[in-house]
Chain A
Amino acid sequence: MSTTWLPCGDYHQSYREDHAWFQTAFIKGKMFILAVVLLVFVPWLADSYWISVCNQVGYTVLGALGVQLLIGFCGQVTLGHAAFIAVGAYTSTLLILEFPWPRFILDIGLAYPISIGAAAVVAGFWSVLFGLPSARVKGFYLILTTMAAQFITVDFIITQYVSQIGGRGQAFSLPPGTIKIGPWVIDSDIKVYYMMIVLSTLCIMGIANLLRSRAGRAWVAIRDNDISAEVMGINIIKYKLLAFFVAGAIGGVAGAFWISNLAAISPEHFTWFWSLWLVGVILIGGVGSIHGAIFGSIFMVVVMELLQLAVMPLAGEYPKLLMDFLFVKEAAFGLAICIFMIFEPNGLAYRWWQVKNYFNLWPFSY
């Protein structure tokens, strides 16, 4: 059944209509406005700092989408997602720096786009490897196996071996001009921003489409009750591993995107804390909702930055306030999770749904 509220007396007459992306002219209008805001107004009005904050939001969204898919839609709790982001970032970096591309590929600026695709595939398969235990274990035990992904991938393989490729110690630095899409050299915050918008949109559309397919329904069934799902004939191992693949692939895209933002990479960029942070993002945003990953990312990045800007005028009187801000941020992170768990366990996405419904049903929104 469609989740869109239609004017009284309007009914869908086919499944095609029922599953359409944008079902009413009003929704199409809203989407158009959103596109104008994101593609025109934000780049026009925001300075370099706010654009970089948006990029940070985009990176968090890309990271959180995979976590949302695993935890929110398939019920497979993960605490090692930073590892898959790292695999994507290193795959992309190594392909750009070390792979012997034919001259014409470099000339037409295809090395980086190809590396994003390759990053998604490699990170997807790497994620499947660590999803294999999900066939036998669940709950806390699965959390531990996903944590193993973090330590084996980042602390061992990437640090010990991958980082050493090219004899450059730990950090890779991408020379200016190497991150290029066609003739478009990604060398400013605004270009990174546009790339982030494109990648985020593609990933969100990809996941949204998957969720309304057979695979999406299987994932939700597994989340709700894996034994019942199996009894209904769903191959739960296949669909769990598919969820790990898709989540890892989106993580890989996030990693490949991240290198364009910094033009440098080291294992320290992908700490276990980042995996934990992404879980916090979806808890606050709302588990089991694509909006949740987006709202959670906005909350965790933008609200924290605003909080920081709000305390800055006090820094003249209390200079230590800025130094202690990370404590405030960490405390706010913990507190926000507690508050949301108690007062709004469905997260910001549910609140958004309520607000939307209020207006959709107005003036009869009781």
Chain B
Amino acid sequence: MKQKQQWFKYVALFFIPALVLGVSAGVFAAEVKIGALNDVTGATSDVGKDYALGIAEAIQYVNDNGGVNGKPIKLYQFDYGYRIPEALTKYKLFKRLGAVAVLGWGTGDTEALSPTITKDKMPYVSASYSAHLTNPKKTPFNLFAATDYSTNARAAITAWFDTRWKKHPDYGKRKPKFVCSYHFAHPYCSAPIKAIKDQAQILGFEIGPDQNVSLVAIDAKSQVLAMKDYGADLVWHGNTTMSVSATVRDAFSLGLKADHIVNCWGFDENLPRLAGKAAEGVMGAPRCAFFGEDVKNMDKVVEYAKKYNPGVPLEKRLTHTVGAWANVMALWEAMNRADKAGDLTGEGILKKGFETLRNYDVGLGVAPLTYTPTDHRISGTVSIYEIKNGKFHVVERVDLKSRWPEKWEKEWLGW
């Protein structure tokens, strides 16, 4: 009995002071507080882990370089396992801790929290590049430093049309047949489907039945056979890398004579590793440079990856680290500007920070950033890559804004 009481005392001695400190965590206010929601255990963890590492490293870099005009950033970074109720409570916790902005993760949490962050005027810089978040009339506080999924998808299908279909023997004789393969239940996967089908119609494609492939699929043979029956010339993959590699591998082994284009979260350094030969010729829109690629500011990304996560070999690091850096760099610049203007609040970060950026170059292979009060699409120019001998090469830079200026301005915003 005595022993039991002793244990209780030890537990109480640790937890009660910790709890008091934790509950009152919001009172220490010398820092700029930022929340981060990441997925390292959920449905999108295959790409989320690397992104989460990138966020932590980039914030270290910001703090090593003076933070926000001399004020260090305090990062509260949580894994929410891609569960929406978890994301909601974590977001409320960030608010309670006094966070001025949140670095979010997927389309699930971003779209679910969108009404709330709009009401709270909380900048939410996420890795969900859904075009639904680019119209400031509807979602003014949702931001990201990348071209959106729909723009990427339109650019990728256009690049395929320009570089592959025009050389096809059937070019001019029949319409190319196009199929979308993605996990219907996930908003991330389905976000650009309407746009890519619209672009397919603009380019004169014939659109086949969508194929539902789970984000955690390790086999997609039945879906590939359906694509084969349809006679697809081109397949759009909207999932993340594990699932895309499984589909591409099955397509290779079942002899599907189609080309593949992949959304950014399925088009990373792991794709050629996992799919091997089957990944040869696959095209994609990675939204930023690949890890270690020779572009501006990549040296810092590599340096901090070595310094803060030496346990993760550099050859295992992915483009998603770079994407995380891009978001942090954009938020950093916006916060610096807002702070200089004396308004480091959610609204200040948006109006006096992000919306003052004009062709701001964060490097890292990201298109220069421009946010206006009426349009949060950063750019209309997208670099399309393809895999050749296991390496990524740029095949075309598609400028949607100059090719379809009217549609870009009047039709395509926000979807």
Give me the interface of A with B, judged by CB distance under 8 Å: 47-49, 52-53, 56, 59, 154-155, 159-160, 167, 169-171, 173-174, 176, 187, 189, 261-269, 271, 273-274, 301, 305-306, 308-315, 319, 322-327, 330
Contacts and interface: CB of A to CB of B under 8 A. Distances in A.
A324 B52 CA distance: 12
A105 B79 CA distance: 43
Interface string B73-103: 0011111111111101100110110000000
B18 A313 contact: yes
A265 B83 CA distance: 13
A138 to B, nearest CB: 30
A313 B22 CA distance: 6
Interface string B350-376: 000000000000000000000000000
A365 B254 CA distance: 74
Interface in B181-199: 184-187, 190-191, 193-194
B208 interface: no
6 contacts: A49-B93, A174-B115, A176-B119, A187-B119, A266-B108, A326-B41
B93 A169 contact: no
Nearest to B88: A262
B187 A48 contact: no
Given A176-B119, A262-B112, A47 B96 contact: yes
Contacts of B19: 306, 309-310
Contacts of A310: 15, 18-19, 22
Q: Is the interface of A mostly helix, strand, loop or mixed?
A: helix
A129 B190 CA distance: 29
5 tightest Cβ-Cβ pairs between the two chains A and B = A309-B22, A49-B96, A263-B115, A170-B187, A313-B21
A327 B41 contact: yes
Nearest to A59: B85
B263 to A, nearest CB: 14
* Size bin of chain B's contact surface: 35 or more
B185 A268 contact: yes
A214 B281 CA distance: 69
A48 B79 contact: no
Given A319-B75, A326-B78, A154 B185 contact: yes
B188 to A, nearest CB: 9
B111 interface: yes
Given A49-B96, A262-B112, A171 B187 contact: yes
Contacts of A313: 18, 21-22, 25
B40 interface: yes
B295 interface: no
B194 to A, nearest CB: 7
A269 B22 contact: no
Contacts of A173: 111, 114-115
Nearest to A310: B18
Given A48-B92, A311-B18, A315-B76, 12 more contacts: A159-B185, A173-B114, A262-B112, A262-B113, A262-B116, A263-B116, A269-B85, A309-B19, A310-B18, A313-B25, A323-B38, A323-B79
B89 A53 contact: yes
Given A154-B185, A319-B77, A309 B25 contact: yes
Contacts of A262: 84, 88, 112-113, 115-116
Contacts of B52: 323
A176 B78 contact: no
B56 interface: yes
Between B56, B116, B415, the greatest number of chain A beta carbons within 10 A of the residue's beta carbon is seen for: B116
A306 B11 CA distance: 14
Contacts of B312: none
Nearest to A316: B74
Contacts of A49: 92-93, 95-96
A154 B22 CA distance: 37
A323 B38 CA distance: 8
B116 A266 contact: no
Contacts of A311: 18, 22
Contacts of B93: 49, 305, 308
A52 B92 contact: yes
A157 to B, nearest CB: 11
Given A53-B89, A323-B38, A326-B81, A264 B112 contact: yes
Interface in B109-148: 111-116, 119, 132
B23 interface: yes
Contacts of B83: 271, 273-274
Contact of A314 (B18, B113, B119, B185): B18
A268 B105 CA distance: 14
A289 B319 CA distance: 51
Contacts of B116: 262-264
Contacts of A309: 18-19, 22-23, 25
A159 B184 contact: yes
Interface string B387-415: 00000000000000000000000000001
A319 B56 contact: yes
Given A56-B85, A326-B41, A268 B18 contact: no
Nearest to A268: B108
B144 to A, nearest CB: 17
Nearest to A53: B89
A57 B43 CA distance: 25
A235 B307 CA distance: 70
A326 B185 contact: no
A169 B40 CA distance: 26
Contact of A170 (B15, B56, B190): B190
